[in-house]
């Protein structure tokens, strides 16, 4: 079970993603140029997405600058580890617990809640993309999959209009929660490279 405290939640989810990042290319798991379930993305692009979109989002809503790390092209492992450590430092800072996140396109909320909702959930879902692309363990926490699916499904139309999710992929009625979540966000749970 994944913790609900935003700092501990990120620590657990980022750790699982870090394991997959470090496993790329090991034991025949494929390399950084491997195709992924996300159209037109290679394995390194999964890391690139997480490392590149979040810093500007965080700065726009909180004024917090994460600072750059290694290039994803040159050192995807180092880029991810630097980035994940910087995000964890923000969440571990007691002063940030009372910081308000005020992004121009979103309602105001506590910073830790914003990181959890918009970023940590993204890391969780992209863990499957990287794992599947590189032939690693792609099982996600079933309870977390159910929570995300049940929370997002009522907002289906709004989420599709945002352009952040692909067309929903149909899954069997008796599919597990991971397959339901993956289908909802536009992934084919049966995708193989």
Closest C-alpha among 49, 55, 57 to residue 21: 49
Q: Give CA–CA dist 44/35, Å, rounded.
A: 9
- 101 bridge partner residues: 109
71 three-class SS: coil
CB neighbours of residue 108 within 10 Å: 10
| Cα–Cα distances in angstroms (integers) from residue 66 to residues 43, 76, 171, in the given order | 23, 17, 39
Please, is 87 exposed, middle or buried when counting C-beta atoms within 10 Å of its C-beta (0-12, 13-18, 19+)?
A: buried
Domains in the chain, ordered, with CATH?
6-138 (1.20.120.450)
Q: Give CA–CA dist 176/173, Å, rounded.
A: 9
Scored b (16 or more CB within 10 A) or e, 120-146 reads bbbbbbbbbbbbbbbbbebebbeebbe
Tens of pLDDT along the chain (193 residues) come to 787 899 999 999 999 999 999 999 866 667 999 999 999 999 999 999 999 999 999 999 999 999 889 999 999 999 999 999 999 999 999 999 899 999 888 889 999 999 999 999 999 999 999 999 999 999 999 999 999 999 999 888 888 777 778 889 999 999 999 999 999 999 999 999 8
């Amino acid at each position: 079970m994944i913790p609900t405290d935003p700092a501990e939640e990120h620590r657990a989810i980022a750790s699982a993603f870090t394991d997959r990042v470090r496993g790329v290319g090991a034991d025949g798991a494929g390399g950084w140029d491997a195709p992924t379930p996300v159209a037109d993305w290679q394995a390194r692009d999964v890391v690139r997405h997480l490392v590149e979109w979040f810093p500007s989002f965080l700065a726009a809503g909180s004024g917090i600058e994460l600072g750059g790390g290694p290039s994803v092209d040159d050192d995807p492992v180092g880029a991810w580890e630097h980035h994940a450590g910087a995000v964890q430092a923000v969440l571990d800072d007691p002063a940030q617990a009372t910081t308000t996140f005020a992004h121009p396109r979103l309602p105001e909320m506590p910073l830790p809640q914003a990181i959890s909702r918009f970023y940590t959930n993204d890391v969780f879902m992209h863990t499957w993309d990287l794992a599947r692309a590189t032939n690693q363990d792609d099982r996600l926490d079933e309870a977390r999959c159910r929570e995300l699916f049940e929370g997002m499904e009522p907002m289906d139309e709004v989420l599709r209009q945002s352009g952040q999710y692909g067309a929903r992929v149909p899954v069997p009625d008796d599919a597990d929660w991971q397959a339901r979540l993956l289908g909802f966000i536009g992934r084919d749970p049966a995708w193989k490279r």
